[in-house]
Chains A and B, each alone.
Chain A
């Protein structure tokens, strides 16, 4: 009975919040694209296609679509391990982007998680903040 009550509560709140949440997501994506065009575009390119053998594509990327913490940490700390990304190696350093604000990082990640054939949930500034602390 209690579960049912909660379920109803959650469902109604989802329904009433859906519109504003969608608008907030759209705004975050729009802001994120601006960040992307300022700081990511040279390496990952306008289409997210990257540069063969050098900078990996962000298209259908398991990193982009995957665990939020891992993804946020790539931006906060950079990435320069020799790992295979979809079977190819990329030889360049991904510079840390910790100079960006929590909001900017959340926005740019939300943008790439909703672009380049990726589909994943939004990242919020508080998610970034939590990762930054450690």
Chain B
């Protein structure tokens, strides 16, 4: 430690100097250290803003302004509007409103939609993409379940006038007593009536409640990242797989297996889809649906006979919080209609190192993977040596695409907004 400290200091001074060099130069976009990120060749990144507060999902207007949903409202700053000051590589907050914290934000047909953990609101936009009356949003949906676990409500809209929201299960694996060792799984799982799935509502009808909505898909433990796929005209979601296999069932899973399993999964959903939670999980190493140990499983027995298979599977616990189908033309052909996924990074790998503070990419053709997933943008955490999640400097959460095809990434540690562009160089 004594030897490391001066080195660490030197390192930070260097980073700081570097940051200076970056803001000082005009074409900061193409030079320097890419805001600390590691990117594929010919891509560059800048940090448009930092320390703006825990930034969850983001939406970019056709004019290139950025709406940021804040986890905590801090008075009336639940939504921030950022505008990039051209040529500076910086964005300034030009508006803040909304007295509720939350996660979801989306722009569709001249409206900004945003969610707290309970309600969904919408605001009319003017022809410049600016909210007209920030004090008086229309409440579209209210009274969604929020029970102290997996409560964020992500939102996405389709082209047929519907809005979709995740209602996360307030449970890890639907045990009688959540996460208590030895407590059995409930069958049928009563949570699924009102949570653990995706609900669909009308996008333009005020004051809807559960009664107005449809349980569009079920058996989804918790979804934070979701997006509408225009090539298949269907909803895709990223599910957070269950935690604590070793804690709860050390007889079947050692610490290493528990750090890798189960998969984080991508599903394509249709009305009536069932993805199998809590009775099963997906094992990305065996490519099998495995019976959950709370329901008689032992790590080997298969389950989920009626549950659909994932479109793609990723290593366990990396926490996919953002999903975006790339429809722009700035990035090379390979990226078109493929999926970017913002992984928040793990916590449930201890005592193994935590990992996955990154943005991944999986190429898709007609909604099916056409190649292996890869790391697109790495090193949000600032180091690979994370033994406790609070050590991560930044954690990717939301994704958005700019009108020119640039990719935006938000961070919910202190609140950085990154812009990633293709330079071709």
Binding site for B on A (CB under 8 A): 37, 39, 41-43, 45-47, 49-55, 57, 78, 80, 82, 91-93, 95-96, 99
Contacts and interface: CB of A to CB of B under 8 A. Distances in A.
A51 B243 contact: no
A57 B148 contact: no
Contact of A96 (B71, B150, B177, B247): B177
B1 to A, nearest CB: 14
B71 A51 contact: no
B contacts with A: majority SS: loop
A contacts with B: majority SS: loop
Contacts of A49: 388-391
Given A45-B389, A46-B351, A46-B387, A99 B178 contact: no
Given A93-B149, A96-B180, A54 B390 contact: no
Contact of A93 (B179, B181, B351, B413): B179
B111 interface: no
A95 B177 CA distance: 8
B54 A53 contact: yes
Given A49-B388, A50-B390, A53-B54, A37 B180 contact: no
B347 A45 contact: yes
Q: Chain B CB within 10 Å — which of A51, A55, A57, A96 has the most?
A: A51
A39 B389 CA distance: 18
7 contacts: A42-B247, A42-B347, A45-B350, A45-B389, A52-B413, A91-B149, A93-B179
Contact of B149 (A52, A78, A92, A99): A92
A93 B148 contact: yes
Nearest to A88: B72
A95 B351 contact: no
Given A39-B247, A46-B387, A82-B148, A53 B347 contact: no
Given A42-B244, A52-B390, A53-B54, A91 B348 contact: no
Contacts of A50: 390
B327 to A, nearest CB: 31
A37 B351 contact: yes
B182 to A, nearest CB: 6
Contacts of A92: 148-149
A41 B148 contact: no
Contacts of B149: 91-93
Contacts of A91: 148-151
Nearest to B354: A45
A99 B390 contact: no
Given A42-B247, A54-B347, A47 B54 contact: no
Interface string B141-162: 0000000111100000000000
Interface of B: 54, 71, 148-151, 177-182, 243-244, 247, 347-348, 350-351, 387-391, 395, 412-413
Contacts of A78: 177, 180
Contacts of B54: 53
Nearest to A54: B347
Contacts of B347: 42-43, 45, 51, 54-55
A92 B244 CA distance: 13
Contacts of A53: 54, 71, 412
A76 B50 CA distance: 41
A42 B180 contact: no
B197 to A, nearest CB: 19
A78 B391 CA distance: 27
Contacts of B181: 39, 95, 99
Contacts of A96: 177, 180
Contact of A80 (B148, B348, B350, B390): B148
B179 A95 contact: yes
Contacts of B148: 80, 82, 91-93
A52 B178 contact: no
Nearest to A53: B71
Contact of A41 (B71, B351, B391): B351
A90 to B, nearest CB: 9
A74 to B, nearest CB: 14
Contacts of B413: 52
A53 B345 CA distance: 13
A45 B348 contact: no
Q: Chain A CB within 10 Å — which of B54, B177, B389, B413 has the most?
A: B389
Given A42-B347, A57-B390, A82-B148, 12 more contacts: A42-B244, A45-B347, A45-B390, A47-B388, A49-B389, A49-B391, A51-B347, A53-B54, A53-B71, A55-B347, A78-B180, A99-B180
A82 B387 CA distance: 27
A47 B387 contact: yes
A41 B347 CA distance: 10
A86 to B, nearest CB: 13
Which 6 pairs between the two chains have the least Cβ-Cβ distance? A95-B179, A45-B388, A51-B347, A49-B388, A49-B390, A95-B180
